Amino acid sequence: MDNVTIKDIAKALNLSTSTVSRALRGSYEINAETKRLVMEYAERLNYRPNPIALSLKENRSRAIGVIVPQIANYFFSQAINGIEAIAYNRGYHVIIFQTHESYEREVVNMQQAVSRRVDGLLISLSSETSDVTHLRELQDQGMPIVLFDRVSSELNATQVVADNFKGAFEATEHLIWSGRRRIAHLTIPPYMSITQERLAGYRAALEKHGIAYDENLVRYGTFGPDEVGPMVDDLLAQNPRPDAFFTASDRLAAGCLGALQKRKLRIPEDVALIGFTNMNVAELLSPPMSTVVQPAQEIGQVAVERLIELIERKQKAAPPSVIKIPTTLIARDSTRTVVE
Amino acid sequence: MDNVTIKDIAKALNLSTSTVSRALRGSYEINAETKRLVMEYAERLNYRPNPIALSLKENRSRAIGVIVPQIANYFFSQAINGIEAIAYNRGYHVIIFQTHESYEREVVNMQQAVSRRVDGLLISLSSETSDVTHLRELQDQGMPIVLFDRVSSELNATQVVADNFKGAFEATEHLIWSGRRRIAHLTIPPYMSITQERLAGYRAALEKHGIAYDENLVRYGTFGPDEVGPMVDDLLAQNPRPDAFFTASDRLAAGCLGALQKRKLRIPEDVALIGFTNMNVAELLSPPMSTVVQPAQEIGQVAVERLIELIERKQKAAPPSVIKIPTTLIARDSTRTVVE
DNA sequence: TTGTATGCGTTATCAC
DNA sequence: GTGATAACGCATACAA
């Protein structure tokens, strides 16, 4: 890799590096002929400014750190997709870190990102994280931070999330409209922000339609393997049996679907099923499961846009706004009559 | 972000920057007491060497470029997962580029990566790419390149792939052993390396068991939407009807599964189904579909290991080896008796 | 054992 | 208009 530098061009054209630099940047105070000469030669040699030298000079890396629980996950890979698209257009590159749902690794990743001199940080908290002191301290030192999806109100930062409340409300109401009354809710760990919002939406829909909230119908998963089957069994053992399931994640939806099929329950005739998933998973899981689709890509896009804004404005104290991106309900089960 | 530099430490301790630098690097020719002093102070101030300055000095970025068709895809997100884990341990960070299956974007991404001064490149070709001149030229200029999954024998580079031939052979033989004779093969565009290898494995298994190859049973997809249903219909219209489907990708497997279910065909009683997928998708898609699981993560790991080896050895001319990672067959349909 | 000077590639400042 | 110089943070050849 023999990289052309300004110095090479200067030598070849018998100019000084400053002249070449100015010519390349299109400075006004340069002779048109010289400028042309430099430009042409640079073009011919396929000159590209060295971003590392630039970073050193400008004291910024043009890199954005993205910390997520894991990449190999539809939601996050789509979010990263959105982040990547915007970031590249704005001249930033993206460095990805995975916490694997570990608080410790989240802290280490954060330090790594700082060591790498990222210009800003985009974070989706690990499920283990309840204390966000590490982030607050970093923020206090002037690092622009935007949270997305897995957020925390403990932090005075911009937060970009799906409209979990509304999505859960609509999902639950969809089930109610199709005649369901005993709606089970399979969800993720209770202390997470998104869990609470979805649970609130679920309860609000029940309440609106005069259905009593029954905590026995709610189960919390732990991201562990083989946990969904027993949860479903447990719920089905109740009398009366649940007539619908509302699941809060891809894995819970798939697990629940599998468990119900294994028990020879017809969907949606015996039990209705609706899941909080995202577009790709919705494609894979066949009807007749309905889905509330998360705007993963858009969440990523909006989050990175906000972050870049912060970085470039050097606003240290951002107004701690919460941006909610709407979800989309895709109904695939209209077996029973809709009861308004 | 007020970053501590060597200069700060030197000033505070009344030393020269070189002494501090040497002390931090643990040079032998330094007074033990001075060393201790510097170390302690650096620790206290949480000093971290600026990787950008280091990169400029050493003329290397410690960054690896990864070019993939898309991130939001189980195979690639898992591969990236594997890449990321190894790369970070070795002190490299990973910059991801997406081609979205476009040859043009692949070329642009490659140039971007070069502009970013990556130390090496990991590439999985876009489905549009047949000409690899752009990569050959880059390689000739000394850039270490390793191909993975979507490779090309036109390039004199290390290639890391799943053992597509063997996987396809085993999948087909699995179907034959369960009594199937008319095995349809739904696959991806014909000019891709992985397509050809899988097709060859399919044909070899048929041949071994004395079943004539029938090109009417093979269909090529294009990554487009809604294309699988018609393909399946077309195949089912044949007389005699196929009694098994072997699909070459996640999307084809899911599409095929959906299409068969829609047509009320029982799986595996009426039609058997086996897919070339990966672990995550296998989890989502319920039985009774069998799968040949791709070692996505391992492919990524091996590929990045080879690349780092190339980078650090500065071997320009690598022996163009092809590394095949074995697939795993997960049988979920043993309805019919196994016929050895 | 420690300090001085230089260079990596670039741009800003000041001179001419 | 153009050139010389310094600076970004670090490591190292050379001096002392």
Question: What is the CA angle B50-A66-B223, rounded to 5?
Answer: 130
pLDDT beyond 50 at B340: no
| Domain match, A187 and A250 both | yes
Report the length, in residues, of chain A. Answer: 340
pLDDT at B315: 52
CA separation, residue A316 to residues A121, A131, A181, A281, B184 (Å): 13, 21, 49, 38, 61
**Nucleotide C12: nearest residue by CA–C1'?**
A18
Whether nucleic acid strand C comes within 7 Å of the CB of A27, the answer is: no
pLDDT beyond 80 at B161: yes
**Peptide bond connecting B288 to the previous residue in cis, omega within 30 degrees of 0:** yes
Between A and B, how many residue pairs show a Cβ–Cβ distance under 8 A? 114
Shortest CA distance to A144 belongs to which of A156, A154, A132, A153? Answer: A156
How far is residue B143's CA from residue B118's CA, in Å, rounded to a whole number? Answer: 9
pLDDT at B290: 86
The contacts of residue B44 (CB under 8 Å, 6+ apart) are: none
Smallest Cβ–Cβ distance between A71 and the set B70, B84, B284 belongs to B84
Q: Whole-prediction pTM value? A: 0.88
| Domain match, A289 and A231 both | yes
CA separation, residue B39 to residues B20, B47, B229 (Å): 9, 9, 67
Stated in angstroms, how far is A290 CA from D12 C1'? 65
How far is residue A150's CA from residue A147's CA, in Å, rounded to a whole number? Answer: 7
Stated in angstroms, how far is A117 CA from D7 C1'? 19
Q: How far is B226 from chain A (nearest CA, A)?
A: 11
Stated in angstroms, how far is A186 CA from C13 C1'? 65
Strand D nucleotides, any atom under 7 Å to a protein CB? 1-13
* Number of alpha carbons in the 13 Å side-chain half-sphere of residue B320: 9
pLDDT at A26: 80
Rg (CA), chain B: 26
A305 within some domain = yes
B230 within some domain = yes
Does the distance separating the beta carbons of B78 and A84 come in below 8 Å? no
How far is residue A332's CA from residue A271's CA, in Å, rounded to a whole number? Answer: 14
pLDDT at B280: 66
Does the distance separating the beta carbons of A61 and B56 come in below 8 Å? no
Shortest CA distance to A142 belongs to which of A319, A318, A313, A316? Answer: A316
Largest CA distance in chain B: 90
Stated in angstroms, how far is A15 CA from D4 C1'? 12
Does the distance separating the beta carbons of A80 and B142 come in below 8 Å? no
Stated in angstroms, how far is B5 CA from C4 C1'? 19
Does the distance separating the beta carbons of B98 and A96 come in below 8 Å? no
| Domain match, A226 and A315 both | no
Of all helices (H) and strands (E), which one includes residue A242?
none
Shortest CA distance to B228 belongs to which of B247, B242, B200, B243? Answer: B247
| Domain match, B29 and B86 both | no
CATH value at residue A176: 3.40.50.2300
Chain A residues with beta carbon closer than 8 angstroms to that of B53: 56
Rg (CA), chain A: 26
Model pLDDT for residues B44-56, shown as the tens digit of each residue: 999 999 999 999 9
Whether nucleic acid strand D comes within 7 Å of the CB of B6, the answer is: yes
Stated in angstroms, how far is A180 CA from D2 C1'? 81
Does the distance separating the beta carbons of A56 and B53 come in below 8 Å? yes
| Domain match, B126 and B198 both | no
The rounded Cα B240 to chain-centroid distance in angstroms is 38
Whether nucleic acid strand D comes within 7 Å of the CB of B338, the answer is: no
| Domain match, B225 and B302 both | no
Whether nucleic acid strand C comes within 7 Å of the CB of B5, the answer is: no
First and final C-alpha spacing in chain B = 68
Whether nucleic acid strand D comes within 7 Å of the CB of B64, the answer is: no
pLDDT at B192: 85
pLDDT at B326: 96
CATH value at residue B32: 1.10.260.40
How far is residue A232's CA from residue B138's CA, in Å, rounded to a whole number? Answer: 55
A54 within some domain = no
Does the distance separating the beta carbons of A73 and B77 come in below 8 Å? yes
How far is residue A140's CA from residue B307's CA, in Å, rounded to a whole number? Answer: 39
pLDDT beyond 50 at B338: no
Does the distance separating the beta carbons of B61 and A81 come in below 8 Å? no
| Domain match, B290 and B168 both | yes
pLDDT at A340: 33
| Domain match, B77 and B150 both | yes
A1 within some domain = no
A55 within some domain = no
A56 within some domain = no
pLDDT in tens, chain A (340 residues): 568 999 999 999 999 999 999 999 887 777 888 899 999 999 999 999 999 999 999 999 999 999 999 998 889 999 999 999 999 999 999 999 999 999 999 999 999 999 899 999 999 999 899 899 999 999 998 899 999 999 998 999 999 999 999 999 999 999 999 999 999 999 999 988 889 999 999 999 999 999 999 999 999 998 777 788 899 999 999 989 999 999 998 888 888 887 887 788 888 889 999 999 887 666 666 666 788 999 999 999 999 999 999 999 865 555 778 999 999 998 876 544 333 3
| Domain match, A67 and A104 both | yes
CA separation, residue B137 to residues A30, A136, A180, A199, A277 (Å): 35, 47, 64, 56, 43
| Domain match, B258 and B193 both | yes
Contact B83, B94 (CB under 8 A): yes
Whether nucleic acid strand D comes within 7 Å of the CB of B12, the answer is: no
How far is residue B54's CA from residue B91's CA, in Å, rounded to a whole number? Answer: 13
Residue B318 confidence class, pLDDT cut points 50, 70, 90: low
Q: How far is A183 from chain B (nearest CA, A)?
A: 23
Which strand ranges, in their side-by-side order, compose the sheet holding A272-278?
A: A218-220, A183-187, A244-247, A272-278, A290-294, A328-330
Does the distance separating the beta carbons of B51 and A53 come in below 8 Å? no
Amino acid identity of B70? Q
For B131-145, B151-165, B313-327, which range has the lowest pLDDT when averaged over its residues? Answer: B313-327
Tokens coding B223:
């990554």
Shortest CA distance to B213 belongs to which of B203, B198, B205? Answer: B203
Residues 8-67 (B) near nucleic chain C, CB < 7 A: 14-19, 22-23, 29-31, 33-35, 53, 56-57, 59
Contact A248, A195 (CB under 8 A): yes
Range of the structural domain that residue A175 is part of: 164-294+329-335
Tally Cβ neighbours within 10 Å of residue A81.
21
Q: How far is A261 from chain B (nearest CA, A)?
A: 9
Shortest CA distance to B98 belongs to which of A80, A300, A294? Answer: A80
Model pLDDT for residues B222-270, shown as the tens digit of each residue: 877 778 889 999 999 998 999 999 999 888 888 888 788 778 888 888 9
B1 within some domain = no
pLDDT at A165: 96
DSSP one-letter string for A21-90: HHHHTT-TTS-HHHHHHHHHHHHHHT----HHHHHHHHT---EEEEEES-SSSHHHHHHHHHHHHHHHHT
B55 within some domain = no
Q: What region, left, alpha or beta, does residue B271 occupy, with left being phi > 0 and alpha being psi -120 to 50 degrees?
A: beta
Q: Which nucleotide is nearest to B22 (CA to C1')?
A: D11
pLDDT beyond 90 at B73: no
Q: What region, left, alpha or beta, does residue A339 occupy, with left being phi > 0 and alpha being psi -120 to 50 degrees?
A: beta
| Domain match, B274 and B240 both | yes
> How many domains is chain B partitioned into structurally?
3
| Domain match, A282 and A172 both | yes
